[in-house]
């Protein structure tokens, strides 16, 4: 199972629904990746992909995504990599700014998926 930085599960399942915990740009070394919003977003998406795989679902099974931004000015830079990540599978999404994220992250992404169904 994927590791977390706190006392919570990386994902949970109830019935056919998977809920992931929010993912941030932590590298394999447990430290935030450097280089700004772009590299952090890419690592966040890799981490989300790993958690989804650990839960036994694919990106195509994701039905809802919540994106938390430390700075709403990063919103335009979110869309290209996000679209590439999900491809033609476009889950519902909410994106908004909050005052701060864990470990000074600039972006956190959580997802909801449905097992054994694709859209």
**pLDDT of 39:** 98
State the Cα–Cα distance between residues 7 and 67, nearest whole angstrom. 21
Residue pair 16/116 in contact by the 8 Å Cβ criterion: yes
State the Cα–Cα distance between residues 28 and 94, nearest whole angstrom. 27
**pLDDT of 31:** 93
**pLDDT of 6:** 83
For the chain, what is the mean pLDDT? 94
Q: What Cα–Cα distance (Å) separates residue 48 from each residue in 4, 73, 99?
A: 12, 22, 22
DSSP summary character for residue 26: B
> Which residue ranges form the domains of the chain, and what is each CATH number?
11-114 (3.30.1330.40)
- In which band, very low, low, confident or very high, does the pLDDT at 116 lie, cut at 50, 70 and 90? confident
**pLDDT of 76:** 96
Instruction: Compute the Cα dihedral for 112, 110, 43, 81 and give only its sign.
Output: positive
Asked if the model's pLDDT at residue 118 lies above 60, the reply is no
**pLDDT of 2:** 56
Tell me the pLDDT tens digit for each residue of 13-47. 999 999 999 999 999 998 999 999 999 999 999 99
pTM of the predicted structure, to 2 decimals: 0.93
Tell me the pLDDT tens digit for each residue of 95-111. 999 999 999 999 999 99
94: nearest Cα among 64, 70, 58, 62? 64
């Amino acid at each position: 199972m994927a590791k977390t930085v706190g006392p919570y599960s990386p994902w949970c399942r109830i019935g056919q629904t998977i809920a992931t915990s929010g993912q941030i740009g932590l590298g394999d070394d447990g430290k935030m990746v450097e280089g700004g919003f772009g590299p952090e977003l890419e690592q966040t998406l890799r981490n989300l992909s790993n958690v989804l795989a650990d839960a036994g679902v694919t990106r195509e099974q994701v039905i809802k995504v919540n994106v938390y931004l430390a700075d709403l000015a990063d919103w335009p830079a979110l869309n290209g990599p996000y679209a590439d990540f999900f491809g033609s599978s476009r889950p519902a999404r909410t994106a908004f700014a909050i005052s701060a994220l864990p470990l000074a992250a600039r972006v956190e992404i959580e997802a909801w998926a449905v097992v054994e169904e694709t859209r």
